[in-house]
Amino acid sequence: HTHMCYSEFNDILPAIAAMDADVITIETSRSDMELLRGFGDFNYPNEIGPGVYDIHSPRVPSEAEMTRLLEKAAQVIPSSNLWVNPDCGLKTRGWPETEAALSNMVAAAKALRQKHEFVA
């Protein structure tokens, strides 16, 4: 498992794939999932967890916002390879906003799984 912060990944996708990490998590919420396009075009072989909310902001995104981002991700990444996670770690956030955001994130994941009948 590896995590990569915001970057222009297209030029280094072969090297990322060669790392053979079972899962890569990347910060994608602020790019509105645009950073995933390169992974889709490259046919990245492993699992990907695109971040569905910006942990650098104290704003708690709604379930609907995160569901919309997951829908965009599901258009690029096969459902069997799609993870659901925040952009990054949560150490800069307080408990109330973290719990609210994670609760919305879990609800968004459940909604997407139900809508698309993903196997959890």
Phi, psi for residue 48 in degrees, rounded to 5: -135, 135
Closest residue by Cα to residue 88 from 25, 39, 19, 1: 25
Q: Given 1, 3, 56, 116, which residue is catalytic?
A: 56
Please name the residue that has the structure tokens 């569901």: 67
Q: What is the pTM of this model?
A: 0.92
Q: Is 23 helix (H, G, I), strand (E, B) or coil?
A: strand
Work out whether strand 47-50 and strand 23-26 pair parallel, antiparallel, or are unpaired.
parallel
Active site residue 3: no
Contact 73, 33 (CB under 8 A): yes
Q: pLDDT for 5-48, tens place per residue?
A: 878 899 999 999 999 899 999 999 999 999 999 999 999 999 99
